[in-house]
Structures are given as C-alpha cells and as structure tokens.
Amino acid sequence: MRRYFGTDGVRGTVNKDPMTAEFALRLGRAAGFVLTRHLEHQPQILIGKDTRLSGYTIESGLCAGLTSQGMNVMLVGPIPTPAVAYLTRSLRADAGVVLSASHNPAGDNGIKFFGADGFKLPDEVELAIEACLDDLPPLPKASEIGKAFRIDDARGRYVEFCKSSLPRGFRLDGLKIVVDCANGAAYDVGPRLFHELGCDVVVMNAEPDGHNINSGCGSTYPEQMCKRVVECGADAGFALDGDADRLIACDASGHIVDGDCVIAALAEHMQHEKLLKGACVVTTVMSNMGLERYLNTLGLEMCRAAVGDRYVLEMMRDKGCNLGGEQSGHVIMLDCNTTGDGLMTAVQLLAAMQERGKSLASLVGGIELYPQKLWNITLPCRMDVLADEQVRAAIRDAEASLSGKGRLNVRASGTEPKLRVMVEAEDEDQMLELGESLSNVIRLAVAED
C-alpha cells in the first residue's frame, strides 16, 4: 500500500504533512540510499522546480537529505518538468527530481523523481523509498557527504533540445501565437523557444511572484488565452500548466483544442509522414469516444490505460507505440521526450501546420467529440465513498441507462482529495442529467459520512 507516493510523486499542502521541510529531508535521505546503494561511483542527482515560493523550502530540505546521504546535487532552478527528464539523461545524472504540484494552486507542492533514463521511477522503487522512510539508513562518514552546485545553462540546453526535434534550419516564420505560461516554470523558456523558431509571440502570464502560479490562468483556465487569440488575430494559442508538462491549445477562432484533439491531429500527421509506430495510440479511460472512432477511421487502434501519464507511458512501451496522452493535455511523444512535454507538443503542432499548410482548425477538423463533462467532488479526507452501497447502486443504474451509447467513469483522484465523475453520451441532455444525479448521490454520501 502506498502512503506517500501517488500517481505523480508525493503531493500535498505546504507545511502540512507530508509536504514539509522535515519530510523532504527524510525523503532525501531515503531516496539517496535506495537510488545509489548499487552504484560504485559518486552519485549525482538533478533538482528542478516550478515557481512556487515553497520551492525554496522543499528544495533546501531535500538537498540536505540527499547530500547528507552522499549524493552530489545539481540545482537548475525553475524549469519545466520535461526539461528535468531530458537534463537527467543529458548530464548523466543518476536521478532527477522535480518540485512541483503541476496545475494545483500555489499553496500545494510536490516531489517527483525520474530515473537515470529520464522515465519516472517504477512503482517498486517508490515503494522501496517509502519503506526506507520507516527505518532511515545510517549516515556515511563526514568525508563521504555530497555537495550541491548550480547548473547555469540548464534553460538554454532545454530550448536547444526542443528545437532539435525539428529538422535543422526548420523555422516557423509567419505564424503568430499566444503563449500562456501560467506564471509557472515555462515563463522564460516558453517565449524564448518560440521566438527563436521565428514565431510572432504574444506572451501571457509570464511574471511569476511565487504566489500566482496557475491562478486563473494556464491550462486549467484557458479562457483568457482564447480571448487573446481572437483579439490579436493569432493563428493558435497554447496554455501550459505550472510545470509545463501539459498543454491545452485553441485555434484561430478561439475554440479549445484539448488533449484528445491534439492527439488526433498528431496521430493523423505522424501517420501521413510515416512516423507513427505500432498502428496504435494510447490514451486513458477519460478520452472521448469520438477520438476512438476517429482513430479507427485512420486504421489505428486506441488502447486505454488507467488515468495518469505514468500508466499511459507503461502501455506505450509495452505496445511499441510512440504517441499517447491524456485528455487533460499530457501528450507523450517518445521520439521526442520520455514524459509529457507541453512545449514540445506545441512545437510539433506548429510544425504540422507549417508543413501541411493547414490551420489548427483544419488539423483537428476530422474528429467529432461526444458531449462529455467532468464533475469534481471534494472529499473531506481520502474516504472510500465508492464503497457506499447507495453510490454503487447509483453508478450501476447510470451505466444501465447509457446502454452502450455512452460511458461513465468514477474514480478517486491520484493527486487531490477529490472524486472525479465523468459522463459521456450521444445525447447531451442525458449526459448532464445523469452526471448531476450521480454527483448529488455522491455528495449526500460524503455529507453523511
């Protein structure tokens, strides 16, 4: 049983267990021991973070634990999560860490580990770290502790990495785009990347103050991006989340292009260019049935994994696929990076537009999405409301009423104390009625607990 690691590392409210400096220090010691116990060289780990003020606190505690356990720590400062995945490989580190709570408010933070290969740690390694927290290893002698030092050119390295995903000399001249940086980790590298590729860039929310990350902006609140695209006559808009591993786009008319539509556009383009592998695209149980039908018309299979980009990635590797992702905007292109990468996704979409001479609306025009809505129900604690018999009966009744003409998914969030209810149906009125009814039953069960 996991106690601290969720689907995306350890996450919580700052200065409440487990997201405290004290816990970060203990976690650093445990991780330092587990990740390096079989190494024969001086181990190195890289730490990046987003723009939350609490990053200083968590970084200091984690760094103290890692160095006390004998690891050298490379500090790269505020930088996107996918940049840490890349830099861990590029700098030959033994592991990488990101301090971020992704799209969550500034009061939250998280700790997420990558292995030396740039992929997230396997479940068994995270469980070994948790077990080590209960019985911390002995400290090495004073002469064997590690040191911490800064890598000053980390952002520039990542910008060049993103550009290298395109053919040498390929430019995006003539394209005007809006980029919403969510006052997060991409506030510097995002605008710089697109400027260097030749885009006319309108920048939004790129002035982080430690408190305004994701605050009414970014991929969770893309409405202002859509409005700005229309106002300034841009060709497309891109809204990132706090750590820039997810992306929500919009076309020139301000219409949202979510993760499902992005995957559809990339799948069609990659198949056209004979770059798609496995004749398959991996998504999650949340992805729209319209995406599945569209991919089928292209002769492609759509495989659904559990929610969480780590599970999408596992299935992609099992099936030999190079494209997968989530409706929420995590898009994984294994030929480009080892994790979801919002900036890389935007670059590849723009390149497809440029190469095919199409607008973003044209690239996604072939997909027709079913009416779908997500209800988020806050839980007072991580209670198992799905064990309630009335809730289970309501779910069974809702599924029966859909009778194969829609889908229902009810799951506990892996990152927040919330229950997520997704309903999808051919008929929008039926979808809304079922969702509201089921959500009310769940809220009542929560209130009575």
Q: What is the CATH number of the domain that holds 379?
A: 3.30.310.50
**Bridge partners of 302?**
281
Is the confidence at residue 439, as pLDDT, over 90? Answer: yes
Q: Are both 359 and 381 inside the same structural domain?
A: no
**Bridge partners of 303?**
282
Among 44, 22, 40, 23, which residue's Cα sits nearest to residue 32?
44
Residues 172-191 pLDDT 10s: 999 999 999 999 999 999 99
User: In the predicted model, what is the mean pLDDT of residues 34-40?
Assistant: 89
Residues 120-159 pLDDT 10s: 999 999 999 999 999 999 999 999 999 999 999 999 999 9
C-alpha separations of 326 from 288, 304, 431 in Å: 10, 10, 21
Residue 40 — very low, low, confident or very high, per pLDDT cuts 50/70/90? confident
The confidence score (pLDDT) of residue 438 equals 95
Residues contacting residue 287 through CB under 8 Å, at least 6 positions apart: 259, 260, 263, 302, 304, 326, 327
Last residue of a domain, one of 340, 363, 386: 363
Q: Are both 277 and 207 inside the same structural domain?
A: yes
Q: Are both 248 and 271 inside the same structural domain?
A: yes
Is the confidence at residue 1, as pLDDT, over 90? Answer: no
Among 87, 25, 77, which residue's Cα sits nearest to residue 55?
77
Listed as own residue / partner, the contacts of 32-38 with beta carbons closer than 8 Å and 24 or more positions apart are 32/65, 32/66, 32/68, 32/69, 32/70, 32/71, 33/69, 33/132, 33/136, 33/137, 34/125, 34/128, 34/129, 34/132, 35/71, 35/94, 35/95, 35/113, 35/125, 36/69, 36/70, 36/71, 36/94
Q: Are both 339 and 390 inside the same structural domain?
A: no
Residues 210-220 pLDDT 10s: 999 999 999 99
Q: Are both 269 and 129 inside the same structural domain?
A: no
Provide the whole-model pTM.
0.91
The confidence score (pLDDT) of residue 288 equals 95
Q: Are both 20 and 98 inside the same structural domain?
A: yes
User: In the predicted model, what is the mean pLDDT of residues 266-279?
Assistant: 97
The confidence score (pLDDT) of residue 372 equals 93
Give the chain's domain count. 3
The confidence score (pLDDT) of residue 45 equals 98
Residue 394: helix, strand or coil by DSSP?
A: helix
The confidence score (pLDDT) of residue 448 equals 76
The Cα–Cα gap between 189 and 71 comes to 28
68 touches 379 (CB < 8 A): no
User: In the predicted model, what is the mean pLDDT of residues 100-119?
Assistant: 97
Q: Are both 144 and 272 inside the same structural domain?
A: no
**Of 118-127, 354-363, 410-419, minimum mean pLDDT range:** 410-419
Q: Domain of 246: which CATH number?
A: 3.40.120.10
Q: Are both 208 and 331 inside the same structural domain?
A: yes
The confidence score (pLDDT) of residue 382 equals 60
The Cα–Cα gap between 96 and 31 comes to 11
Q: Are both 30 and 141 inside the same structural domain?
A: yes
User: In the predicted model, what is the mean pLDDT of residues 425-444?
Assistant: 94
Catalytic residue (one of 54, 100, 102, 328): 102
Is the confidence at residue 8, as pLDDT, over 90? Answer: no
Is the confidence at residue 226, as pLDDT, over 70? Answer: yes
Last residue of a domain, one of 314, 339, 363: 363
Residue 415 — very low, low, confident or very high, per pLDDT cuts 50/70/90? confident
Q: Are both 355 and 404 inside the same structural domain?
A: no
Q: Are both 180 and 148 inside the same structural domain?
A: no
Parent domain of 24:
5-152
Q: Are both 438 and 380 inside the same structural domain?
A: yes
Helix locations, 320-372, DSSP H:
342-356, 360-363
Is the confidence at residue 99, as pLDDT, over 80? Answer: yes
**102 belongs to the catalytic site:** yes
User: In the predicted model, what is the mean pLDDT of residues 260-264?
Assistant: 98
Last residue of a domain, one of 363, 388, 421: 363
Tokens for 12, please give them.
């919580």
The confidence score (pLDDT) of residue 383 equals 67
Residues 67-84 pLDDT 10s: 999 999 999 999 999 999
Q: What is the mean pLDDT of the chain?
A: 95
